Structure 1
Amino acid sequence: MRPHSEGAGATVPVQTRSERFRSVNVDDFEPVTGREHEWKLSPVAAFADLTSGELDGSRLAIDTADAAGIATSWIGRDDARIGTAGIPEERASANAWSTFGEALLISVTGEDDKVATVTRTGLGTTPRGAHTVIEAAPNSRGLVVLRGTGDARLSENVEILVGAGANLTVVSLQEWTDDSVHLASHFARIARDAKLKHIVVSLGGKVVRVNPSTHLAEQGGDVEALGLYFSDAGQHLEQQVFVHHDAPHTRSRVTYKGALQGEGARSVWIGDVLIGNAATGTDSYEQNRNLVLTDGTRADSVPNLEIETGDIEGAGHASATGRFDDEQLFYLMARGIPEDEARRLVVRGFLTEIVQQIGQAELEARLIEALEAELQGA
């Protein structure tokens, strides 16, 4: 809600996704209660220290495997690139923004394909705030993996700047320990005729909440937003995805798939697509699929689509949550495959569709191995 300019203190609802309040100052946001639209499906008591407490904003311990054409460095808060892709819409993001001392800059240059992995590990249990900027130069190509392992209580912002004609893939890989909490807001700005493939893979952590927002700011921009998650007993995995078509002839595809097993396993997916009045020729589709493996789980799936112009190529959304396909199980078991193995094969086929779109064989193989480990415990 916002104050109405002529209503003597009356309030009117936010009419469109792009109208949400934004600020880099944590004090501009009210304390989190869990009743807010952005928090109502989240276990807010589990991370009150990240939304309201003091955060350590010093440099994170990182391990980088650089490739030629992808370099890492640290930049100050006053760097002109900071805030270019987007600014916080909620208190945890603003708390991290208000706290960080320096931002990690990952620069991608050169037109050849290349891969670099940046691993954050050994962060401990101290509440921390961080900021990362990934900048792809015009016409550059590359794949950047942001990987989290070990213990963490982390709130962070990630800005992704995709220059004109660039083709960038960013993989956010959460493999934290069982008690870790990770809240992340990703902001991407895509320039003319550029393409971003953004992939969120959440496997480890007690509470993991990764919210990517993409601004298709110039003509011909393209985003493919993919997500994969496997929620075990007592685990909360959440993603709120926003795609803003703000220029003509832009394209987006959003596909998130997850599996849930064990008492208290929870997933939340909210997908918002806004097609602005200048975004003629837009081609957009979003979908979320959830596979429930046991009783006692809960999957929330909420697709939203706002269209402000009728001159588009197409737009749509879909959502589905269900159990195993009995026909698939019967087909496999009829060919002599034991039921437990048949179930694993069905789940593996359901999830690996996302993995196979990463486009890097070594990383795909490692993620399939991680999924196999999850399935062995199913």
Structure 2
Amino acid sequence: MTTTAPAASSTESEQHGFRAHSDGGSAFIPVQTRSERFASVNVGDFPAVTGREPAWKYTPVSELSALIDGELDGSEYPFDAPAVAGVSVEWVGRDDARIGTAGTPENKAAANAWSGFEKALAITVTGEDAKTFRLIRSELGGNARAAHTIIEAKPHSRALLILDNTGAANLTENIELIIGDGAELTVVSVQQWDNTAHHLAEHFAEIGRDAKLKHFAVTLGGKIVRVNPSSHLGAQGADIEALGVYFADAHQHLEQHVYVDHDAPHTRSRVTYKGALQGEGAHTVWIGDVLIRQSGNGTDSYEENRNLVLSEGTRADSVPNLEIETGDIAGAGHASATGRFDDEQLFYLMARGINEVDARRLVVHGFLIEIVQRIGDSELEARIEQVIEDELAAGAA
């Protein structure tokens, strides 16, 4: 589709999601490939956000002005991180060489966070032995805040990292994941914020040769929460498994934009997100972009999103996108589905003496727990299962 627009400078047109025709004419076409989006670490390079931009069109931007273009507190914040052998945590300056190696902001809120942080929190993983590390943030408060985190897995290291977020928050942040050659890292980002919290997060991953990243986004609390994981598979054999589970209650907005960039031969990706919605005004957004470049020969990729609607008055937006620039791939596909309870499942359970409330609970539990049980930490899995049970019980009350 061709969209005409008044003449504008090249920079301005690209920032607004348009690119000039190659013939130099005055007509413009929308940016139609995910890799062509404008990106910058400077908030001043982005125009004002209107809510019509591709990155914001599903988001209640009027409630997020403080994070998108307001003044932010970028100072160090309190956290709890029990010591684990093979994992170090430290604050580093903006001149740290790792900053900016995994990605660049593509929206104004992320650029505002990048422009506004004073020091980055660096988590470094070493050693081939398996280990579990927890970073707990529960005292961020309600002031508008910027944050930047670097997670580096050294070559051939292994770890499970849990980023546990609770309490009040008004936060925009960038998290960079640098996965060294042959490393195996699992990162679980848990958003269990208070009901009034606003949280905008961009997760950028650069995955090395024959390295594997398993990334979980678990969103169970907060008023407006956007967690957008982007993975660049720029070395042969790089592997990403991106998983997500979310539960939206009344007047809760939970959003995730997942981007996988296959930019090297014989890379693999699997994206699986599942969510449930209940209550008037519950809204979830899932956008999945997979790009297989000409350099991505032998790529094996699949993405899917499933949503279970539990009550009237909810809305689930689900948009899978797949771009393929080479014919030499092992496989690629996507799927999306949003629906209500399976009546046959309910009938089967109720016919065996289970009341309707318990039958509905069992169906939802089975739908979501398939993702939760892949985390690999029994304590966290049990906690998430209990939160889901509590959500269901509250909805049935």
**TM-score normalised over the length of structure 2:** 0.94
**Partner Cα separation in structure 2 for residue 108 and residue 284 of structure 1:** 27
1:243 aligns with 260
1:265 aligns with 282
Kindly provide the CA deviation profile for residues 227-254 of structure 1, in whole angstroms up to 9, marking residues without a partner as x: 0000000000000000000000000000
Residue 211 (structure 1) aligned to one of 218, 228, 235: 228
1:189 aligns with 206
Please report how far the alpha carbon of residue 4 of structure 1 lies from its aligned counterpart in structure 2 after TM superposition. Answer: 5.2
Cα RMSD (Å):
1.0
Residue 343 (structure 2) aligned to one of 326, 329, 338: 326
Tell me the SS of whatever aligns to 2:247.
Answer: strand
2:185 pairs with 1:168: yes
The residue identity in structure 2 corresponding to 1:13 is P
Kindly provide the CA deviation profile for residues 85-132 of structure 1, in whole angstroms up to 9, marking residues without a partner as x: 001000000000000000000111111111111111211111000000
Structure 1 portions without partners, runs of 5+? none
**Partner Cα separation in structure 1 for residue 83 and residue 361 of structure 2:** 35
2:151 aligns with 134
1:374 aligns with 391
Kindly provide the CA deviation profile for residues 298-356 of structure 1, in whole angstroms up to 9, marking residues without a partner as x: 00000000000000000000000000001111111111111100100000000000101
Tell me the SS of whatever aligns to 1:295.
Answer: coil
1:339 aligns with 356
**Partner Cα separation in structure 2 for residue 15 and residue 206 of structure 1:** 31
The 10-residue stretch of structure 1 (148-157 or 2-11) with the greater mean CA deviation from structure 2: 2-11
1:317 aligns with 334
2:138 aligns with 121
Tell me the SS of whatever aligns to 1:225.
Answer: strand
Tell me the SS of whatever aligns to 1:249.
Answer: coil
The 10-residue stretch of structure 1 (363-372 or 1-10) with the greater mean CA deviation from structure 2: 1-10
2:238 pairs with 1:221: yes
**Partner Cα separation in structure 2 for residue 56 and residue 243 of structure 1:** 31
The residue identity in structure 2 corresponding to 1:331 is Y
**Partner Cα separation in structure 2 for residue 31 and residue 146 of structure 1:** 31
2:59 aligns with 42
Please report how far the alpha carbon of residue 3 of structure 1 lies from its aligned counterpart in structure 2 after TM superposition. Answer: 4.5
The 10-residue stretch of structure 1 (74-83 or 57-66) with the greater mean CA deviation from structure 2: 57-66
Please report how far the alpha carbon of residue 5 of structure 1 lies from its aligned counterpart in structure 2 after TM superposition. Answer: 6.6
**TM-score normalised over the length of structure 1:** 0.98
**Partner Cα separation in structure 2 for residue 344 and residue 83 of structure 1:** 44
Residue 154 (structure 1) aligned to one of 165, 171, 193: 171
Structure 2 portions without partners, runs of 5+? 1-17
2:375 aligns with 358
2:92 pairs with 1:75: yes
**Partner Cα separation in structure 1 for residue 175 and residue 89 of structure 2:** 14
The residue identity in structure 1 corresponding to 2:296 is A
Number of aligned residue pairs: 378
2:102 aligns with 85
Tell me the SS of whatever aligns to 1:169.
Answer: strand
Q: Percent identity?
A: 67
1:95 aligns with 112
Please report how far the alpha carbon of residue 12 of structure 1 lies from its aligned counterpart in structure 2 after TM superposition. Answer: 3.4
- Cα 1:181–1:191 change in 2 (3 A) is same
Tell me the SS of whatever aligns to 2:156.
Answer: coil
Tell me the SS of whatever aligns to 2:114.
Answer: helix
